[in-house]
Amino acid sequence: MVEMVTRPYAAAFEKHALANPDVLCLSADLTSSCEIDGFRDRHPEQFLSLGMAEQNMLSFAGGLGLAGYRPFIHTFGVFLYRRPYDQLMASVAYPRRKVRLMGFLPGVTTPGGMTHQAIEDISIMRSIPNMTILETGDASEVESICEAADSIDGPVYCRVLRGQVPRLFDSPIKVGEMRLLSDGDDVLVVTAGITTEEAMRASDALKQAGVSIRHLHLHTIKPFDAKALLDHIGSVKKGVITLENHVIAGGIGSLVAETMADAGVGKKLIRLGLKDTYAHGGSRPYLMRHYGLDALALVQGVDQLLGMPTGVSEQDLDAVRVEAVHSTAKAEGL
């Protein structure tokens, strides 16, 4: 079984912040929800509570950047860009302040429903000039996200996983690179965040069914190495499938589609993810099944791409982790 790591962000942030005195910890009333409550208690001089006032917080962070600080803003992803979008643009992104936007609960990782689910954040952030986008897919990436984000000369938006996080990789994020998780030559699967674990399970099952999967995991979404992706696309015979915890418009599905179109690549592409829909509140496994973001959805995508059933069944995928929402971990994330 995959190793589960508890609250990897908490220790990682504390370590990074203590080694970097110009790093400040900002919070908007979601301090324990973003795993920085211990940091607040132990290092109050490096912590700033800005309350439920995100518009002020984003501009304030811009001012801190002007003073030479590197604020890490901690809140749920949605609250970093929906209400304070204007402030994000004018006070942070335009002047390239070194503000690190740590967005927790990406996509359907919260049962909080529409108001809490950042399902279009990548799309928004990709269109903002000067913005860098990183996404964590496992505990090693969460453990290295602070250092990776803080290496960027400009603003960074990070999709951060919290709570019980599986360890899938044994190396940290290297900004600008991508991970090749299996090197098959039939179908290229591109994933990021929590969909990577799903695709890892599916690709093992598909391999046994005779379908060779080349699997790429993205932790750096912007800037993006198009040439590396094109090389991988060139290595597969049948086509490409993207699977993302996000709407398929503007996310990594669009990123791959644009890359293929720009290069004139004529292969099939299937984009899996939220299809022009909001989600509602529920457990992560339920939502991933309901909206087609899980391993089974990927298998069905492969069936569609190949034009024939692979024969991989739900039972074959039964290694898919199911988390009870009513566990000892914070259940609803509020």
Interface residue with another protein among 44, 63, 234, 309 (CB under 8 A) is: 63
At 183, which helix (H) or strand (E)? strand 178-183
Residue 197 dihedral angles phi and psi, to the nearest 5°:
-60, -40
Question: Any contact of residue 60 with another protein (CB under 8 A)?
Answer: yes
Q: CB 94: neighbour CB atoms within 10 A?
A: 14
Distance CA 211, CA 203 (A): 8
Interface residue with another protein among 10, 23, 34, 61 (CB under 8 A) is: 61
**Binding to another protein, residues 127-146 (CB under 8 A):** 129-130
Q: Calculate helix-pair angle for 252-263, 226-234, nearest 10 degrees.
A: 80
- Give CA separation, 274 vs 227, 243, 247, 249, 332, in Å: 27, 9, 4, 9, 21
Whichever of 94 and 286 has its CB closer to another protein, that residue is: 94
Residue 325 dihedral angles phi and psi, to the nearest 5°:
-70, -30
Give min distance, CB of 130 to another protein, in A: 6
Whichever of 95 and 292 has its CB closer to another protein, that residue is: 95
Among 8-16, 65-73, 198-206, 324-332, the segment contacting another protein (CB under 8 A)? 65-73
Asked if 140 and 172 touch (Cβ cutoff 8 Å), the reply is: yes
From the list 74, 76, 219, the residue with the least C-alpha distance to 138 is 219
Question: Any contact of residue 53 with another protein (CB under 8 A)?
Answer: yes
Interface residue with another protein among 10, 30, 34, 48 (CB under 8 A) is: 48
Question: Any contact of residue 155 with another protein (CB under 8 A)?
Answer: no
**Binding to another protein, residues 70-109 (CB under 8 A):** 86-87, 90-91, 94-96
Whichever of 61 and 189 has its CB closer to another protein, that residue is: 61
Q: Which residues bind another protein (CB under 8 A)?
A: 48-51, 53, 55-69, 86-87, 90-91, 94-96, 129-130, 153-154
